[in-house]
Structure 1
Amino acid sequence: MPFGHTRKLSVLLAILVSLCLPPALAEESAEHRAELSGGAQENYLAELKRRYGTQDERRALLAHVNRLLDTYAMRAGYQVGQAQRQDLLYRISVSAPGELLVREESRAERGTQLAVRNQRVPVFGVDPFVRYDCPASGPSCVLRNPLDGSPLLTIVRDHAGAAELAKAFSFLIRNVQKS
Protein backbone atom coordinates (compact mmCIF):
# COMPACT_ATOMS: atom_id res chain seq x y z
CA MET A 1 0.00 0.00 0.00
CA PRO A 2 2.65 2.63 0.86
CA PHE A 3 4.35 1.98 -2.49
CA GLY A 4 1.10 2.72 -4.33
CA HIS A 5 0.71 6.03 -2.52
CA THR A 6 4.31 6.97 -3.26
CA ARG A 7 3.85 6.28 -6.95
CA LYS A 8 0.61 8.30 -7.02
CA LEU A 9 2.31 11.18 -5.22
CA SER A 10 5.27 11.12 -7.61
CA VAL A 11 2.91 11.19 -10.62
CA LEU A 12 0.98 14.06 -9.06
CA LEU A 13 4.24 15.90 -8.34
CA ALA A 14 5.40 15.39 -11.92
CA ILE A 15 2.13 16.81 -13.23
CA LEU A 16 2.37 19.85 -10.93
CA VAL A 17 5.99 20.51 -11.92
CA SER A 18 5.14 20.28 -15.61
CA LEU A 19 2.36 22.83 -15.12
CA CYS A 20 4.73 25.26 -13.40
CA LEU A 21 7.49 25.08 -16.01
CA PRO A 22 7.55 27.71 -18.75
CA PRO A 23 5.73 26.54 -21.90
CA ALA A 24 7.67 25.35 -24.91
CA LEU A 25 8.36 27.84 -27.67
CA ALA A 26 5.87 26.11 -29.96
CA GLU A 27 3.15 26.52 -27.37
CA GLU A 28 4.09 30.18 -26.86
CA SER A 29 3.90 30.72 -30.63
CA ALA A 30 0.46 29.15 -30.85
CA GLU A 31 -0.76 31.20 -27.89
CA HIS A 32 0.73 34.40 -29.33
CA ARG A 33 -0.85 33.72 -32.73
CA ALA A 34 -4.22 33.10 -31.07
CA GLU A 35 -3.98 36.51 -29.37
CA LEU A 36 -3.64 38.17 -32.78
CA SER A 37 -7.23 37.46 -33.73
CA GLY A 38 -10.76 37.41 -32.39
CA GLY A 39 -12.03 38.90 -29.16
CA ALA A 40 -8.59 38.98 -27.56
CA GLN A 41 -7.41 41.32 -30.30
CA GLU A 42 -10.39 43.65 -29.88
CA ASN A 43 -9.93 43.79 -26.10
CA TYR A 44 -6.19 44.42 -26.41
CA LEU A 45 -6.65 47.24 -28.92
CA ALA A 46 -9.49 48.80 -26.91
CA GLU A 47 -7.29 48.79 -23.79
CA LEU A 48 -4.41 50.45 -25.67
CA LYS A 49 -6.68 53.13 -27.14
CA ARG A 50 -8.03 53.85 -23.66
CA ARG A 51 -4.54 53.91 -22.10
CA TYR A 52 -3.13 56.31 -24.69
CA GLY A 53 -6.25 58.46 -25.02
CA THR A 54 -6.89 57.99 -28.72
CA GLN A 55 -9.45 56.32 -30.95
CA ASP A 56 -6.80 55.60 -33.59
CA GLU A 57 -5.47 52.03 -33.33
CA ARG A 58 -2.23 52.85 -35.12
CA ARG A 59 -1.43 55.78 -32.82
CA ALA A 60 -2.13 53.65 -29.76
CA LEU A 61 0.03 50.81 -31.08
CA LEU A 62 2.89 53.14 -32.02
CA ALA A 63 2.74 54.81 -28.61
CA HIS A 64 2.74 51.44 -26.85
CA VAL A 65 5.57 49.96 -28.91
CA ASN A 66 7.71 53.07 -28.39
CA ARG A 67 6.96 53.15 -24.66
CA LEU A 68 7.99 49.50 -24.38
CA LEU A 69 11.17 50.26 -26.33
CA ASP A 70 11.97 53.03 -23.82
CA THR A 71 11.16 50.80 -20.85
CA TYR A 72 13.24 47.83 -22.02
CA ALA A 73 16.03 49.79 -23.73
CA MET A 74 19.44 48.14 -23.64
CA ARG A 75 21.44 50.58 -21.55
CA ALA A 76 25.19 50.55 -20.97
CA GLY A 77 24.57 49.88 -17.28
CA TYR A 78 23.16 46.42 -18.12
CA GLN A 79 26.27 45.42 -20.05
CA VAL A 80 28.54 44.64 -17.12
CA GLY A 81 31.85 43.11 -18.16
CA GLN A 82 31.66 44.17 -21.81
CA ALA A 83 34.49 46.26 -23.21
CA GLN A 84 32.46 48.72 -25.31
CA ARG A 85 29.24 49.38 -23.47
CA GLN A 86 26.63 51.50 -25.18
CA ASP A 87 23.01 52.54 -24.99
CA LEU A 88 20.77 51.15 -27.74
CA LEU A 89 17.63 53.21 -28.21
CA TYR A 90 14.90 52.56 -30.75
CA ARG A 91 11.96 54.43 -32.21
CA ILE A 92 9.35 52.97 -34.56
CA SER A 93 7.31 55.02 -37.01
CA VAL A 94 5.32 54.50 -40.19
CA SER A 95 7.38 55.89 -43.05
CA ALA A 96 5.14 55.02 -46.01
CA PRO A 97 2.08 52.88 -46.69
CA GLY A 98 3.03 49.30 -45.85
CA GLU A 99 6.39 50.26 -44.40
CA LEU A 100 7.77 50.74 -40.90
CA LEU A 101 10.89 52.72 -40.08
CA VAL A 102 13.08 51.47 -37.25
CA ARG A 103 15.44 54.15 -35.95
CA GLU A 104 18.34 52.87 -33.87
CA GLU A 105 20.56 55.18 -31.85
CA SER A 106 23.68 53.82 -30.25
CA ARG A 107 25.47 56.03 -27.74
CA ALA A 108 28.83 55.25 -26.24
CA GLU A 109 28.88 55.02 -22.46
CA ARG A 110 31.50 57.75 -22.25
CA GLY A 111 31.86 60.59 -24.68
CA THR A 112 29.47 62.15 -27.12
CA GLN A 113 29.58 59.59 -29.92
CA LEU A 114 26.15 58.98 -31.38
CA ALA A 115 25.44 56.67 -34.30
CA VAL A 116 22.04 56.61 -35.96
CA ARG A 117 20.85 53.86 -38.26
CA ASN A 118 17.48 53.77 -40.00
CA GLN A 119 16.05 50.54 -41.34
CA ARG A 120 12.96 50.33 -43.49
CA VAL A 121 10.82 47.24 -42.92
CA PRO A 122 8.27 46.54 -45.66
CA VAL A 123 5.35 44.64 -44.13
CA PHE A 124 3.06 43.82 -47.07
CA GLY A 125 2.94 40.08 -47.60
CA VAL A 126 4.91 39.11 -44.48
CA ASP A 127 3.75 37.03 -41.55
CA PRO A 128 2.99 39.66 -38.87
CA PHE A 129 4.10 37.35 -36.07
CA VAL A 130 7.26 38.82 -34.50
CA ARG A 131 9.59 36.25 -32.95
CA TYR A 132 12.11 36.91 -30.22
CA ASP A 133 15.01 35.16 -28.51
CA CYS A 134 16.19 35.66 -24.94
CA PRO A 135 19.34 33.53 -24.56
CA ALA A 136 20.03 32.24 -21.06
CA SER A 137 23.49 33.75 -21.17
CA GLY A 138 23.85 37.41 -21.94
CA PRO A 139 22.02 40.57 -20.97
CA SER A 140 19.69 40.96 -23.96
CA CYS A 141 16.73 39.72 -25.96
CA VAL A 142 16.55 40.07 -29.73
CA LEU A 143 13.35 40.65 -31.68
CA ARG A 144 13.48 39.23 -35.19
CA ASN A 145 12.57 40.94 -38.44
CA PRO A 146 9.39 39.23 -39.71
CA LEU A 147 10.66 39.64 -43.27
CA ASP A 148 13.76 37.43 -43.01
CA GLY A 149 14.31 36.51 -39.34
CA SER A 150 17.38 38.72 -39.00
CA PRO A 151 17.91 40.66 -35.73
CA LEU A 152 15.83 43.84 -35.73
CA LEU A 153 15.78 45.14 -32.14
CA THR A 154 17.91 44.43 -29.08
CA ILE A 155 16.41 45.05 -25.66
CA VAL A 156 17.36 44.21 -22.10
CA ARG A 157 16.86 40.56 -21.18
CA ASP A 158 13.28 40.40 -19.89
CA HIS A 159 11.05 37.61 -21.17
CA ALA A 160 7.79 39.31 -20.23
CA GLY A 161 8.92 42.60 -21.78
CA ALA A 162 10.07 40.89 -24.97
CA ALA A 163 6.78 38.97 -25.20
CA GLU A 164 4.69 42.14 -24.77
CA LEU A 165 6.84 44.06 -27.27
CA ALA A 166 6.58 41.22 -29.82
CA LYS A 167 2.81 41.14 -29.33
CA ALA A 168 2.37 44.91 -29.74
CA PHE A 169 4.75 44.98 -32.70
CA SER A 170 2.81 42.12 -34.34
CA PHE A 171 -0.44 44.07 -33.95
CA LEU A 172 1.24 47.16 -35.39
CA ILE A 173 2.40 45.20 -38.44
CA ARG A 174 -1.12 43.88 -39.00
CA ASN A 175 -2.48 47.42 -38.75
CA VAL A 176 0.05 48.79 -41.24
CA GLN A 177 -0.67 45.91 -43.63
CA LYS A 178 -4.29 47.09 -43.83
CA SER A 179 -3.39 50.47 -45.31
Structure 2
Amino acid sequence: MIAIFSDTHSSRGHELEGAAVTAAREADTVVHAGDFTSEAALEAFQRECDRLFAVHGNADSAAVRDRLPTARVVEAGGVRIAVTHRRDGGETGLAMFGRSRGADVVVFGHSHRPTVVETEDVVLLNPGSHADPRGNRPGFATLEPSADGTGGLEGTIREPNGTVIETFDVRTGTE
Protein backbone atom coordinates (compact mmCIF):
# COMPACT_ATOMS: atom_id res chain seq x y z
CA MET A 1 0.00 0.00 0.00
CA ILE A 2 1.03 3.58 -0.68
CA ALA A 3 -0.24 6.21 1.80
CA ILE A 4 -0.39 9.83 0.66
CA PHE A 5 -0.55 12.97 2.80
CA SER A 6 -0.15 16.73 2.49
CA ASP A 7 -0.48 19.97 4.42
CA THR A 8 0.18 18.82 7.99
CA HIS A 9 0.84 22.40 9.18
CA SER A 10 2.09 21.49 12.64
CA SER A 11 4.69 22.82 15.02
CA ARG A 12 4.34 19.77 17.28
CA GLY A 13 4.24 16.51 15.32
CA HIS A 14 2.60 14.47 12.57
CA GLU A 15 -0.99 15.08 13.78
CA LEU A 16 -1.98 11.64 12.45
CA GLU A 17 -4.84 9.76 14.10
CA GLY A 18 -7.20 6.87 13.46
CA ALA A 19 -7.07 5.30 10.00
CA ALA A 20 -4.49 7.91 8.89
CA VAL A 21 -1.87 6.88 11.44
CA THR A 22 -2.58 3.20 10.72
CA ALA A 23 -2.06 3.79 6.98
CA ALA A 24 1.20 5.68 7.61
CA ARG A 25 2.53 2.87 9.80
CA GLU A 26 1.43 -0.02 7.55
CA ALA A 27 2.24 1.47 4.13
CA ASP A 28 5.13 0.16 2.08
CA THR A 29 5.66 3.74 0.89
CA VAL A 30 4.46 7.08 2.25
CA VAL A 31 4.32 10.19 0.06
CA HIS A 32 3.90 13.70 1.51
CA ALA A 33 3.25 16.71 -0.74
CA GLY A 34 4.66 19.33 1.59
CA ASP A 35 3.76 21.89 4.23
CA PHE A 36 4.87 19.95 7.27
CA THR A 37 5.63 23.50 8.50
CA SER A 38 8.18 22.43 11.14
CA GLU A 39 11.07 20.02 11.53
CA ALA A 40 9.14 18.47 14.45
CA ALA A 41 6.33 17.49 12.06
CA LEU A 42 8.74 16.14 9.42
CA GLU A 43 10.69 14.13 11.98
CA ALA A 44 7.50 12.73 13.52
CA PHE A 45 6.46 11.49 10.07
CA GLN A 46 9.89 9.96 9.56
CA ARG A 47 9.54 8.06 12.87
CA GLU A 48 6.14 6.64 11.84
CA CYS A 49 7.03 5.61 8.28
CA ASP A 50 9.58 3.11 7.03
CA ARG A 51 9.81 4.78 3.59
CA LEU A 52 8.84 8.46 3.43
CA PHE A 53 9.20 10.42 0.18
CA ALA A 54 8.36 14.08 0.66
CA VAL A 55 8.71 17.51 -0.91
CA HIS A 56 8.60 20.89 0.78
CA GLY A 57 5.76 23.34 0.48
CA ASN A 58 5.40 27.10 0.62
CA ALA A 59 4.69 27.17 4.38
CA ASP A 60 7.65 25.00 5.39
CA SER A 61 10.37 26.45 7.57
CA ALA A 62 13.82 27.08 6.11
CA ALA A 63 15.09 24.00 7.98
CA VAL A 64 12.48 21.78 6.28
CA ARG A 65 13.17 23.39 2.89
CA ASP A 66 16.86 22.60 3.30
CA ARG A 67 16.05 18.91 3.84
CA LEU A 68 13.47 18.32 1.09
CA PRO A 69 13.30 18.94 -2.67
CA THR A 70 10.65 21.05 -4.40
CA ALA A 71 9.61 18.11 -6.59
CA ARG A 72 10.46 14.44 -6.96
CA VAL A 73 9.47 11.21 -8.68
CA VAL A 74 8.71 8.08 -6.69
CA GLU A 75 8.33 4.59 -8.15
CA ALA A 76 6.40 2.26 -5.88
CA GLY A 77 3.83 -0.49 -6.26
CA GLY A 78 4.20 -0.50 -10.05
CA VAL A 79 3.22 3.18 -10.33
CA ARG A 80 5.29 6.26 -11.13
CA ILE A 81 4.31 9.22 -8.92
CA ALA A 82 5.41 12.81 -9.54
CA VAL A 83 5.18 14.85 -6.33
CA THR A 84 5.04 18.63 -5.89
CA HIS A 85 3.33 20.98 -3.46
CA ARG A 86 1.79 23.20 -6.11
CA ARG A 87 2.27 24.16 -9.75
CA ASP A 88 1.45 27.29 -11.66
CA GLY A 89 -1.14 26.69 -14.36
CA GLY A 90 -3.66 24.72 -12.30
CA GLU A 91 -4.74 21.32 -13.64
CA THR A 92 -3.02 21.91 -16.98
CA GLY A 93 0.26 22.79 -15.27
CA LEU A 94 0.02 19.75 -12.99
CA ALA A 95 -0.76 17.44 -15.93
CA MET A 96 2.21 18.84 -17.88
CA PHE A 97 4.42 18.36 -14.79
CA GLY A 98 3.33 14.72 -14.61
CA ARG A 99 3.67 14.01 -18.32
CA SER A 100 7.17 15.51 -18.41
CA ARG A 101 8.17 13.00 -15.75
CA GLY A 102 6.41 9.97 -17.25
CA ALA A 103 4.11 9.79 -14.23
CA ASP A 104 0.93 7.79 -13.79
CA VAL A 105 -0.11 9.99 -10.85
CA VAL A 106 0.69 13.57 -9.82
CA VAL A 107 0.41 14.12 -6.07
CA PHE A 108 0.06 17.73 -4.98
CA GLY A 109 -1.22 19.75 -2.04
CA HIS A 110 -1.64 23.41 -1.13
CA SER A 111 -5.45 23.81 -1.38
CA HIS A 112 -6.21 21.46 1.55
CA ARG A 113 -9.10 20.13 -0.58
CA PRO A 114 -9.25 16.37 -1.27
CA THR A 115 -9.39 16.21 -5.07
CA VAL A 116 -9.04 13.66 -7.86
CA VAL A 117 -8.94 14.70 -11.51
CA GLU A 118 -8.56 11.98 -14.11
CA THR A 119 -6.95 13.41 -17.24
CA GLU A 120 -6.28 11.51 -20.45
CA ASP A 121 -2.91 10.19 -19.31
CA VAL A 122 -2.33 11.09 -15.65
CA VAL A 123 -4.36 11.18 -12.44
CA LEU A 124 -4.06 14.39 -10.42
CA LEU A 125 -4.41 13.67 -6.70
CA ASN A 126 -4.59 16.06 -3.79
CA PRO A 127 -5.12 14.03 -0.60
CA GLY A 128 -6.31 17.11 1.28
CA SER A 129 -5.05 17.88 4.76
CA HIS A 130 -5.46 15.31 7.52
CA ALA A 131 -4.74 17.91 10.22
CA ASP A 132 -5.70 21.39 8.96
CA PRO A 133 -8.57 21.07 6.45
CA ARG A 134 -9.44 24.80 6.41
CA GLY A 135 -13.14 24.34 5.71
CA ASN A 136 -12.70 21.21 3.58
CA ARG A 137 -13.12 17.61 4.65
CA PRO A 138 -9.92 16.37 6.32
CA GLY A 139 -8.26 13.75 4.14
CA PHE A 140 -5.46 11.41 3.15
CA ALA A 141 -5.22 8.90 0.31
CA THR A 142 -4.12 5.33 -0.28
CA LEU A 143 -3.23 3.38 -3.41
CA GLU A 144 -3.48 -0.42 -3.39
CA PRO A 145 -3.18 -3.13 -6.04
CA SER A 146 -6.42 -3.57 -7.95
CA ALA A 147 -8.52 -6.47 -6.68
CA ASP A 148 -9.56 -7.40 -10.22
CA GLY A 149 -6.03 -8.40 -11.20
CA THR A 150 -5.75 -5.88 -14.06
CA GLY A 151 -2.44 -4.54 -12.76
CA GLY A 152 -3.76 -1.07 -12.00
CA LEU A 153 -4.24 0.49 -8.60
CA GLU A 154 -7.34 1.33 -6.62
CA GLY A 155 -7.21 4.70 -4.93
CA THR A 156 -9.21 5.90 -1.98
CA ILE A 157 -9.39 9.27 -0.28
CA ARG A 158 -10.52 8.93 3.33
CA GLU A 159 -11.09 11.10 6.34
CA PRO A 160 -8.69 10.33 9.22
CA ASN A 161 -11.47 8.31 10.91
CA GLY A 162 -11.64 6.02 7.86
CA THR A 163 -14.78 7.42 6.20
CA VAL A 164 -14.43 7.13 2.42
CA ILE A 165 -14.60 10.44 0.56
CA GLU A 166 -13.88 9.19 -2.96
CA THR A 167 -12.54 6.17 -4.84
CA PHE A 168 -10.70 6.15 -8.17
CA ASP A 169 -8.57 3.92 -10.38
CA VAL A 170 -5.02 4.46 -11.58
CA ARG A 171 -3.79 2.91 -14.81
CA THR A 172 -0.06 2.34 -14.85
CA GLY A 173 2.26 3.02 -17.77
CA THR A 174 2.64 -0.74 -18.27
CA GLU A 175 -1.05 -1.29 -18.97
**Greater fraction of residues in helix:** 1
Q: Higher relative contact order at CA 8 Å, sep ≥6: structure 1 or structure 2?
A: 2
TM-score for both structures, normalised by structure 2: 0.33
**Greater fraction of residues in strand:** 2
TM-score for both structures, normalised by structure 1: 0.33
